Amino acid sequence: MPRQRTLRNKISCVGVGLHSGKKVLLELKPSDVDGGIIFLRTDLPAAPKIHATAANVTATVRATTLEENGAKVFTIEHLMSALNACRIDNCEIEISAEEPPVLGGNSIDFFRMIQSAGVVEQSAERKVIALDKIYRVDDDDGKRFVMALPYDGFRVSFVSVNPHPLIGIQYADFEITEDIYEREIAPARTIAYEKEIDALRSMGLGLGGTIENVIVYNDDGWLNELNYPDELVRHKILDVIGDMRLAGIFNCHIVAAASGHALNTRLAKNIYAHALSIRN
């Protein structure tokens, strides 16, 4: 059995939130065995704790939101993705606003922060969740699904479907190791349709989005350079890796078609409930 992992040192960064546009200080800190991943809202009285577990997911529109002890954090999926790819069991995340910094709109900066802080093995064994069957959730109109198959390793296969003729259907399949994650997934950003940006902003979304951290496209193509020709599906994989960490750490093969945070977190809730049931 592998042992639990945490950071060797603390490390911090500053930036603005993707949706809120609010300035934020984020600090990742080592924590004790069995601590899990916990956010602490340092801007609120008594710095309430929010455990990064599927049971605390309360909203999934455009980003994943967690709530506990009267406090919330949202758009946590890119940070969670880097923590999952590095198989970090225990980490305290001090955050001075409700949203982590967007940075490059991907997870490469979070990945590099974890690598620079260093990773240490701890005295206790990791509680790896063993999947007893295939877990699957579908949306109501049968156009999207995500499932987790028992698998000796961590692998993600994803089909993304976009109506834009220049994007269309993209498929990617990766065995997730730290090297592959860093090279093939962590630099991938999400996309925004130029026509929709004003509407998003009027809803108070995407206020920290820029041409640097989001791929903006219109009817003719991209307004910025792509990091990969199939960057969208790679970002979808980045997101699903983040959302799945809310269930814990487990070996699985994720197979998904067009799923987003709503389906991903429903799957994570089912696996988290299974993990609790076998632990008790």
In the complex with Zn ion, the residue whose CB is nearer, 89 or 239, is 239
Report in angstroms the alpha-carbon separations of 30 from 1, 12, 44, 45.
21, 12, 21, 22
In the complex with Zn ion, the residue whose CB is nearer, 18 or 131, is 18
Q: Does 6 bind Zn ion (CB under 5 A)?
A: no
Q: Contact region for Zn ion (CB under 5 A) — 7-15, 45-53, 164-172, 237-245?
A: 237-245
Least Å from the CB of residue 258 to Zn ion = 14
Least Å from the CB of residue 104 to Zn ion = 12
Examine the residue annotation and report whether 261 is marked as an active-site residue of this protein.
yes
Report in angstroms the alpha-carbon separations of 159 from 78, 144, 222.
19, 10, 21
- Judge contact between 138 and 144, C-beta under 8 A: yes
Q: Contact region for Zn ion (CB under 5 A) — 26-34, 39-47, 232-240, 258-266?
A: 232-240
Q: Does 239 bind Zn ion (CB under 5 A)?
A: yes
* 91-95/37-41 β-pairing: parallel
Cα distance between residue 259 and residue 145, in whole Å: 6
Task: Report which residue type is found at 123.
Answer: S
Give me the catalytic one of 78, 253, 261, 274: 261
Cα distance between residue 216 and residue 93, in whole Å: 30
What mask of x and - would describe binding to Zn ion in positions 174 to 213, judged by CB under 5 A?
----------------x-----------------------
Closest-CB residue for Zn ion? 239
> Which pair of tokens denotes residue 91?
């980490």
Least Å from the CB of residue 156 to Zn ion = 14
Cα distance between residue 274 and residue 90, in whole Å: 20
Catalytic positions are 261
Binding site for Zn ion (CB under 5 A): 190, 239
